[in-house]
Amino acid sequence: MKALAVFPEKEELRVIGDHSMPELTSPHDVKVRMLEVGVCATDREICSFEYGAPPQGFDHLVLGHEGLGEVVEVGSAVSTLQPKDLVVPMVRRPCNDPECYSCREDRSDFCYNGNFVERGIKECHGFMTDYVVDHEKFLCKVPPELRDVAVLIEPLTVAEKALEQIWQVQQRLPWTNPEAPNEQGQHRAVVLGAGPVGIMGAMAFKVAGFDTYVFSRSPAPNPKANLIESFGVPYISCKTTSVEEMARQVGRIDVVYEAIGVADISFKVLDHLAHNGIFVFTGIPGYDPPIELDAAKLMRNIVLKNQAVIGTVNASRKTFQDAIRDLGTFMEQWPEAVRAIISGRYAVEDANELLMGKATGIKNVISLTGKPAEA
Ligand SMILES: [Zn+2]
Ligand SMILES: [Zn+2]
């Protein structure tokens, strides 16, 4: 069977023809024919051989973690899925440590020891292949009407987990008015970054009732800024507007959702977080030189303004389900904007250019069915 694999030792990325066909090995297993897999910065990092690891005993890793597939076979004990169901697979699989309380509770997104594996990233083959097998609990059913955009669900889980964490952390104070918990404009959110995680984050914050703004690098107008403004979120460029000016324009910043992966601008914005505000980091910066920072001022602010600064990675089954629900809402409200996030669909043979060439577009998708679906 065909698969797109990275060979870290040889520093090679190529399509292999002899990836073995997976079979059901437990009554809860489900066999899935892969339809589409999204490409992101993590894949590009793996293809620059900075990150990622093949499964034990292999010299290669099959890529792909942003998957969408169709069930073709179910084990005898599978109760939640049947053939022809559309599914999005979760990425992380739990560690084996009996003392890892999170993994034992099916919350490997909070694994204590880092010994989890991740499909298409760390020690477990991914989804850029014809068929995969997984336990039903790692497969999330997607309604058929989301078929053409469901490949966006995995990257949307970043924002969903951030939102879930924000609501949980902010229970530390009387944050919401119980009479009107979703009142528009009650809380103000600044999204840093205008990649797919930022764009869908802006949609998710808006749908959750936040007065939402995007602050990112490219000067407007540009295609991402236009897309963001098309669903009613103002786009502010840090090339033409300073952080101070942005903070003045926006007003009280209750939440910062960081999806830009750049320390410098993130910490400058943290400086403007309001009293009782929460700052959520989701980006992973490169190994850039250290930046200068007024640490004492930062510390004073965090204490005297009751601020929370948290990081979040990976997603639970619940946040996948939240993403499926919200993607449905986005499609009701802004179908054209959602479809425009998918900038291109490519055959697996084009992957080298997509993964090792210059980054272009917003979300590029590899179609595994031969003929790319109509967007
Ligand atoms: Zn990704
Ligand atoms: Zn664990």
User: Stretch 335-360: mean pLDDT, rounded?
Assistant: 94
Ligand approaching nearest to the C-alpha of 116: 2
**How confident is the model over 49-72, as pLDDT tens digits?**
988 999 999 999 999 999 999 999
**pTM, entire model:** 0.96
Residues with CB in 5 Å of ion ligand 2: 95, 100, 103, 111
State what percent of residues in the chain have pLDDT above 90. 91
| Residue closest to 273 by CA, chosen among 198, 178, 166 | 166
pLDDT value of position 50:
86
**What are the residue ranges spanned by the domains of the chain?**
3-142+342-367, 156-311
Whether the Cβ atoms of residue 60 and residue 19 lie closer than 8 Å to each other: no
The pLDDT of residue 94 is above 90: yes
In sequence order, what are the residues at sequence separation of 6 or more whose Cβ sits closer than 8 angstroms to the Cβ of residue 164? Answer: 318, 319, 322
Task: Please tell me the distance between residue 42's alpha carbon and the centre of ligand 1 in angstroms.
Answer: 6
Note the pLDDT of residue 335.
98
Distance from residue 62's CA to the centre of ligand 1 (Å): 14
Compute, in angstroms, the gap from residue 154 CA to the centroid of ligand 1.
7
**pLDDT computed for residue 375 by the predictor:** 42
pLDDT of residue 373: 47
Q: Residue 260 Cα, ligand 1 centroid: separation in angstroms?
A: 14
Number of residues assigned to the chain: 375
Average pLDDT over residues 188-206: 98
Angle between helices 153-169 and 196-207 (to 10 degrees): 50
Give the integer Cα–Cα distance in Å for 69 and 139.
10
Closest ligand to C-alpha of residue 109 is 2
CA of 158 to the centre of ligand 1 (A): 9
Read off the tokens for 155.
Answer: 């990257």
What is the mean predicted confidence (pLDDT) over 368-375? 64
Cα(374) to centroid(ligand 1), Å: 22
Mean pLDDT of the chain: 95
Which residue intervals of 237-294 are DSSP H helices? 243-250, 263-270
Judged by its nearest atom, the ligand closest to the C-alpha of residue 95 is: 2
- pLDDT of 229 reads 98
Pick the ligand that lies closest to the CA of residue 37.
Answer: 1
* CATH number belonging to domain 3-142+342-367: 3.90.180.10
Centroid of ligand 2 to alpha carbon of 91 (angstroms): 14
For residue 365, how far is its CA from the centre of ligand 2 (angstroms)?
Answer: 30
pLDDT digits (tens, 9 = 90+) for 289-332: 999 999 999 999 999 999 999 999 999 999 999 999 999 999 99
Q: Decide: 109 and 133 in contact? Cβ < 8 Å.
A: no
**Gap from CA of 315 to ligand 2 centroid (Å):** 14
- 73 Cα: distance to centroid of ligand 2 (angstroms): 29
Residue-level pLDDT at 182: 59
352-369 residue pLDDT tens = 999 999 889 999 999 999
pLDDT of 184 over the 90 cut: no
Q: How far is the CA of 19 from the centre of ligand 2 (A)?
A: 28
Q: Compute the radius of gyration of the chain from its Cα atoms.
A: 21
CATH architecture of 156-311: 3-Layer(aba) Sandwich (3.40)
- CA–CA distance, 297 with 282 (Å, rounded to integer): 23
Residue 158 dihedral angles phi and psi, to the nearest 5°:
-60, -50
Nearest ligand atom owner, CA of 41: 1
Q: What is the pLDDT of residue 176?
A: 78
| Ligand number, closest to the Cα atom of 315 | 1
Q: Distance between CA 34 and CA 370 in Å, rounded?
A: 11
CA of 105 to the centre of ligand 2 (A): 9
Say if CB 13 and CB 351 are below 8 A apart.
yes
Q: Tell me how far the alpha carbon of residue 138 lies from the centroid of ligand 2, in angstroms.
A: 16
pLDDT of residue 359: 87
Band of pLDDT at residue 371, cut at 50, 70 and 90: low
CB 92 within 8 A of CB 114: no
Q: Note the pLDDT tens digit of each residue in 114-132.
A: 999 999 999 999 999 999 9
Instruction: Using the mean position of ligand 1's atoms as its centre, give its distance from the Cα of residue 196 in Å.
Output: 10
Task: Provide mean pLDDT across the span 258-276.
Answer: 97
Distance between Cα 121 and ligand 1 center (Å): 9
How remote is the CA of residue 240 from the centroid of ligand 2, in Å? 44
User: What is the 44 CA–ligand 1 centroid distance (Å)?
Assistant: 10
